[in-house]
Amino acid sequence: MKEKLNARALATVGLVALCGFLVVRLIVATAHVGAGVHSLPLATVRPAPARSGGAGDGMGAYDPRLHLDELARLSRRPLPRLDRDPFQFEPTPEQVQARNAAEAKANQPPAPPPLPPVPLKAVGFDQDDRGRYSACLVDDQEETFVVHAGEEFDKRFRVLRITPAMVEIQDETYHQTVQLPFPP
């Protein structure tokens, strides 16, 4: 039991000695730091030696000393007048580009509405003795039309050509040409 107490006392004395050493070293290291002007005469102040910082860290000419005279000189200068509110952030270039694109799109005339689908389906075809084709078409109301190339029907459609694969018609109301394939 006595040995444990001696070991504890010895450890405590060692820690107190180490703390004392560190306090003394701290006092010696900070002895030249003053609250106002440099405590060293200006003739003895030399620029800090250039460090060989690695990989362009920008710390090569860093002087760790505090230059209160330079700070006082800079604090006497008037502040520059701000032309904008520092709390109002400018949009990023991407936001400006998106806003300009949206404005350009808004200024364009609207696209024309899509044309309505042609209400016809090709059902079949026939070929006469002279080689001319005729086609059979059905509309949405189940009305059947037998047409030949060049004919007009239903007051708005014209047959442009007929082949064994499809019928090509023009909707003269909307001026669109549509190819209607025959079923296989």
Matching residue, tokens 């010895």: 10
Distance separating alpha carbons of residues 166 and 117, to the nearest angstrom:
17
**pLDDT tens digits for 157-174?**
999 999 999 999 999 998
**pLDDT tens digits for 31-40?**
766 544 444 4
Q: Which strands form 133-139's sheet, in the order they lie side by side?
A: 120-127, 133-139, 144-148
Matching residue, tokens 């306090």: 23
What's the confidence (pLDDT) of residue 42? 46
Q: What is the mean pLDDT for each group of 10 consecutive residues in the chain (184 residues)? A: 82 95 90 54 50 55 84 90 80 92 88 88 93 93 92 94 95 92 90
> What pTM, to 2 d.p., does this model score?
0.42
Which DSSP category does 129 fall into? T
Q: Where are the domains of the chain?
A: 120-181
Residue 108 in contact with residue 116, Cβ under 8 Å? no
What's the confidence (pLDDT) of residue 177? 94
